[in-house]
Amino acid sequence: MAVSQRSISILGATGSVGASTLDLIRRERPNWRVVALTANGNVSELAKLAREFSAEVAVCADHACLPELRAALSGTRVEAAAGEAALIEAASRPADITVAAIVGCAGLAPTMAAIERGGAVALANKEALVSAGEVMTAAVARHGATLLPIDSEHNAIFQCLQGHTGAGNDLADVRKITLTASGGPFRDWPMERLPAATPAQAVKHPNWDMGAKISVDSATMMNKGLELIEAHHLFPVPFERLAIVVHPQSVVHSMVEYRDGSTLAQLGPSDMRVPIASALAWPRRMDTPCAPLDLAALGSLTFQPLDEQRFPATRLAREAAMAGGAMPAVLNAANEVAVAAFLAGQIGFTRIAAHVETVLSSYEPPAPACLSDVYEVDREARTRARSLMEFAR
């Protein structure tokens, strides 16, 4: 066993971020011990990964998958488990670092369980932080956990703040934080074509290879709105000091402007293995197989303002963010329902933001004080989103 072996759990191991994380682990296998790997219902892929990485436990969120998972892992030493409680139990097991890479608010409870353990949590699951906001950041502080952002923009900001503010608590010298946005696949489409955009077109991102839900969020630019809220919780500056700029090449991943006029940016290839490696190795560095940037070959980097008429979702997110309290959770839940309906062919592309706006104006619950309040808001917002959608059809 290598002397410096570290232990890791990956929540959402079968997804895009999960696969990128495991690719890095695979390349320096002796340095890592895999504790828990989890998935939703993709039993065969989960079992394959659990065998390959000799995981301590493999968990399917869907309880009905347990017999199949047990059969797929028979003859190995990997424990098989399934269901919500098993997911939380696995996330609570000691590990040096937990990668929170479940998509959607479904990742909230296991991510909170990892936070409550008090270790390092590498966070990709932005919907959990958007929905739980202060409830999650208070738990991070209470349990002495460390949130290491994996989302490329937030990882860039985190890196630009190193050396100045340590983990990012003293932001008085920060004048502005600017998130870059590629603009997604529809940045240059004629507006009148947008209502007919198909799921296949929406998930085909020009620069990044990601899961379906975040790809649709990138196409509507709700992703950037969620990221604005995520940034506010990770780096507590007021929303007025958070900006978005469109940068089609996705080379500059975000920027921090200090009050003396210095702007620090982080650049890198558009490959999630770079920010994931930064979180896994923090505060040190590790190798990745990613091709280094060749700026001379790139020639130029361009920037342009965000067109909120084309992308109303970012405006909605900013409004929900400024309203605060439960509104980001309502925004997120309505968006998850609308994106799922779009991917299922039930609503058109431009209906996603329209639908979120309707739900936001119909439901204004009080600010959640604890996790169960967040779940209550999430549940009710989903119910309303679904029934409003039925009504609109």
Q: Which residues bind ligand NAD (CB under 6 A)?
A: 12-18, 39-40, 42, 61, 101-103, 106, 124-127, 151, 208, 210-211, 213-214, 272
Closest to 310 in 3D by CA, of 185, 206, 186, 226: 186
Between 226 and 347, whose beta carbon lies closer to ligand NAD?
226
3-state DSSP call for residue 150? coil
Minimal distance in Å, beta carbon 351 to Mg ion? 24
> Is the Cβ–Cβ distance between 298 and 347 less than 8 Å?
no
Minimal distance in Å, beta carbon 211 to Mg ion? 12
Between 152 and 266, whose beta carbon lies closer to Mg ion?
152
Minimal distance in Å, beta carbon 59 to ligand NAD? 9
Between 10 and 255, whose beta carbon lies closer to ligand NAD?
10
User: Of the listed pieces 69-77, 152-160, 174-182, 385-393, which binds Mg ion according to CB under 5 A?
Assistant: 152-160
Minimal distance in Å, beta carbon 208 to ligand NAD? 5
3-state DSSP call for residue 244? strand
Measured CA to CA in angstroms, residue 391 lies from 152, 155, 358 at distances of 38, 41, 12
Between 76 and 270, whose beta carbon lies closer to Mg ion?
270
Sign of CA dihedral 11, 14, 17, 21: positive
**By the rule CB under 5 A, 56 interacts with Mg ion:** no
Minimal distance in Å, beta carbon 101 to ligand NAD? 5
> Is the Cβ–Cβ distance between 258 and 163 less than 8 Å?
no
Between 69 and 257, whose beta carbon lies closer to ligand NAD?
69
User: Of the listed pieces 8-16, 145-153, 276-284, 307-315, which binds Mg ion according to CB under 5 A?
Assistant: 145-153
Count of residues of this chain found to bind Mg ion when the rule CB under 5 A is applied: 3
Between 14 and 182, whose beta carbon lies closer to Mg ion?
182
189 binds, among Mg ion, ligand NAD, none (CB under 5 to 8 A by kind): none
Minimal distance in Å, beta carbon 229 to ligand NAD? 12
Between 277 and 385, whose beta carbon lies closer to Mg ion?
277
Residue nearest to ligand NAD (CB): 15
Length of the chain: 393
Name beta bridge partners: 304.
246
214 binds, among Mg ion, ligand NAD, none (CB under 5 to 8 A by kind): ligand NAD
183 binds, among Mg ion, ligand NAD, none (CB under 5 to 8 A by kind): none
Biggest alpha carbon distance in the chain?
62
Minimal distance in Å, beta carbon 235 to ligand NAD? 16
336 binds, among Mg ion, ligand NAD, none (CB under 5 to 8 A by kind): none
**Plot region of 231 (φ>0 → left; ψ -120 to 50 → alpha; else → beta):** alpha
| Cα distance between residue 202 and residue 218, in whole Å | 8
Minimal distance in Å, beta carbon 362 to ligand NAD? 25
| Cα distance between residue 310 and residue 156, in whole Å | 26
Paired sense of beta strands 32-39 and 6-11, if any: parallel
Minimal distance in Å, beta carbon 225 to ligand NAD? 12
Rounded to 5 degrees, φ, ψ at 67 are -60, -40
Name beta bridge partners: 81.
59
Rounded to 5 degrees, φ, ψ at 312 are -65, -20
Starting from the edge strand earliest in sequence, which strands make up the sheet with 79-82, in order? 79-82, 57-60, 32-39, 6-11, 97-100, 120-123, 146-149
**By the rule CB under 5 A, 271 interacts with Mg ion:** no
**Plot region of 152 (φ>0 → left; ψ -120 to 50 → alpha; else → beta):** alpha
Between helix 108-116 and helix 84-92 the angle, nearest 10°, is 30
| Cα distance between residue 228 and residue 221, in whole Å | 11
Between 257 and 331, whose beta carbon lies closer to ligand NAD?
331
Between 160 and 358, whose beta carbon lies closer to ligand NAD?
160
Between 14 and 152, whose beta carbon lies closer to Mg ion?
152
Minimal distance in Å, beta carbon 38 to ligand NAD? 6
**By the rule CB under 5 A, 151 interacts with Mg ion:** yes
| Cα distance between residue 95 and residue 315, in whole Å | 39
**By the rule CB under 5 A, 230 interacts with Mg ion:** no
By CB under 5 A, name the binding residues for Mg ion: 151-153
